Amino acid sequence: MPTLSSSAHCPSYCSSSSKLSTSSSIYGNHQRIAISSIRPKRFVPEKVSLRSNRNSYSNAVRMQDGAVAATVTSIGNETPFKKLRDGLLSVTSPEELGDTAGFDISKDKSTVSITVVGASGDLAKKKIFPALFALYYEDCLPEHFTIFGYARSKMTDAELRDMVSRTLTCRIDKRENCDEKMDQFLKRCFYHSGQYDSQENFAELDRKLREHEGRRVSNRLFYLSIPPNIFINAVRCASLSSSSASGWTRVIVEKPFGRDSESSAALTKALKQYLEEDQIFRIDHYLGKELVENLSVLRFSNLIFEPLWSRQYIRNVQLLFSEDFGTEGRGGYFDSYGIIRDIMQNHLLQILALFAMETPVSLDAEDIRNEKVKVLRSMRPLQLEDMVIGQYKSHTKGGVTFPAYTDDKTVPKDSLTPTFAAAALFIDNARWDGVPFLMKAGKALHNKRAEIRVQFRHVPGNLYNRNFGTDLDRATNELVIRVQPDEAIYLKINNKVPGLGMRLDRSNLNLHYAARYSKEIPDAYERLLLDAIEGERRLFIRSDELDAAWALFTPVLKELEEKKIVPEYYPYGSRGPVGSHYLAAKYNVRWGDLGVEQQL
């Protein structure tokens, strides 16, 4: 009996998934076969022909169980084919392709090398190494893997291990053998010091990687965790001097992907001098967050939501992001980007696209990304009059003084860079015509939170209108998807207060993750790293998506800078500029995050 399994996310390597080897599991709505159910059966696969408009396939074979597997050859770098469509089962590793595909089918003949470029930096320490360890702990990494740190800093392997060890923690529910697992993990970590623009240094890395890979099919993942001005040099050197000769080579690129349409297009063009689009994994870590991934499940697997998902029933949609700390430590980077580029153009817009897209043909990465591009291209570029910007100023509370944004030594004293922005966006298509999509993002606010709020329309001819007083807006249903912290999905409904009278109140139908699920939620970087290793592109940004996203924000960003628009100043730790309320009121909207929420 197929089960909806939480382990379905890491099916090809995780130990939990190998337990599925004697049966199939449900991955999305497509059947997926665990590798171990195929691998031991040596047989001669029948060659079949496979065609598509975009890719050419080679080595297409029919497996013993009827599934078709192939490798894609149009992208230069032969990559195992992964298609989740009618009749085609997921192929996640060379082993599945068998002898006729030119790979050695025994599992111990392939390896994955993960090189963290910029290993000495903040993101590497904070997110990437801990995520890799978590994947290792969960047995989600392949049997043969090696992790290399690469940066200019001089470090020995032992020093890298020491640095990494201080960043690793075990999940509360996974303490068993944790120290032992950490030691084993650290033994797989190595370091190479080199310049980002030196082909010679990357060639030295290549030699070290080859030593570790031996004669196995070598697959290589480079994570560019470096400032954007050195992306291209690093990609050039990595691709020319340390690409894999026998397996795939993939590069995870961190944001920012440019500052506007032009610089983003230039970055893409430069990357494509050295890499095919299929090798580029542009990361937006919000797409790896549990509740963002769940958006499609909520919409497309529950009858009660999708029919309501349109202008007919939805009054407005709000995408909210707040942090209760400033740009401390990252002011230098932040000042040339600002909150619109840092959060809105990517994280919030990606959520909006997933929220508003039409039903994709399938859960295949290209089908999903096609729908996201379509909805982004149906949007109106943001107008200056639909935008409010703010910057935090110093504030003293309880004897403690919190700094202004411009108190940061790396920020110019006269900086006009917004640390807060609110915006109203519109999608000019049949489903969403006239529905305001309001975004609000800010640093140094009163709380840390990310959520999606969907405010529904009034009930026509509501028999209970007189029970709500004059504020009928308060009586409409609201669906809240709290992405973080304390993940939850709750629906505000009107309910009769028990008793002999007829008094109504607002109560929550609450799916509170901590209460419902005992398993700790993996960090977004774990999911995304695993997907990159598996070649799953669903949660990464395609270049045309990126172009469409920049097209919406570039004109207003230019106007703000050319006109030197002064931000509205708000105290550190407050709810942000008052102007955001006027913006919402212009579209008859009240921000949903103002009141104290009732928690069940």
Ligand X SMILES: NC(=O)C1=CN([C@@H]2O[C@H](COP(=O)(O)OP(=O)(O)OC[C@H]3O[C@@H](n4cnc5c(N)ncnc54)[C@H](OP(=O)(O)O)[C@@H]3O)[C@@H](O)[C@H]2O)C=CC1
342 binds ligand LXAUTJHC (CB under 6 A): yes
Nearer to ligand X, 5 or 263 (CB): 263
For ligand X, the binding residue among 46, 122, 211, 505 (CB under 6 A) is 122
Count the residues of the shown chain that bind ligand X, applying the rule CB under 6 A.
19
Q: Is 512 a catalytic residue?
A: no
User: If contact means CB under 5 to 8 A according to the sort of partner, which of ligand LXAUTJHC, ligand X, none does residue 342 touch?
Assistant: ligand LXAUTJHC
263 binds ligand X (CB under 6 A): no
Long-range contacts of 257-266 (CB under 8 A, 24+ apart): 257/282, 257/346, 257/541, 257/546, 258/228, 258/550, 259/336, 259/337, 259/341, 259/557, 260/550, 260/553, 260/554, 260/557, 260/558, 261/547, 261/550, 261/551, 261/554, 262/554, 264/546, 264/547, 264/550, 265/547
- Residue type, position 134, single letter: A
**Could you give the CA distance from residue 480 to residue 594 in angstroms, rounded to a whole number?**
13
User: Considering the complex, what minimum distance in angstroms separates the CB of residue 342 from ligand LXAUTJHC?
Assistant: 5
Closest CA to 202 of 228, 229, 220, 227: 220
Closest CA to 44 of 118, 112, 105: 105
x/- track of binding to ligand LXAUTJHC for residues 248-287 (CB under 6 A) = -------------------------------------x--
- The H or E element containing residue 363 is none
The DSSP letter of residue 9 is G
255 binds ligand X (CB under 6 A): yes
User: Considering the complex, what minimum distance in angstroms separates the CB of residue 131 from ligand LXAUTJHC?
Assistant: 12
**Could you give the CA distance from residue 271 to residue 251 in angstroms, rounded to a whole number?**
10
x/- track of binding to ligand LXAUTJHC for residues 305-334 (CB under 6 A) = ------------------x-----------
The DSSP letter of residue 371 is H
Pick the catalytic residue: 144, 192, 285, 347? Answer: 347
* CA atoms within 13 A of residue 17's CA, in its CB half-sphere: 26
478 binds ligand LXAUTJHC (CB under 6 A): no
Closest CA to 121 of 150, 147, 158, 146: 150
The encoded tokens of residue 401 equal 């003084």
**Could you give the CA distance from residue 371 to residue 179 in angstroms, rounded to a whole number?**
45
230 binds ligand X (CB under 6 A): yes
Closest CA to 28 of 90, 71, 93, 91: 90
123 binds ligand X (CB under 6 A): yes
431 binds ligand X (CB under 6 A): no
Contact region for ligand X (CB under 6 A) — 10-18, 45-53, 130-138, 224-232?
Answer: 224-232
User: Considering the complex, what minimum distance in angstroms separates the CB of residue 236 from ligand LXAUTJHC?
Assistant: 25
120 binds ligand X (CB under 6 A): yes
Nearer to ligand LXAUTJHC, 181 or 482 (CB): 482
Active site residues: 347
Contacts with ligand LXAUTJHC by CB under 6 A lie at: 285, 323, 342, 450
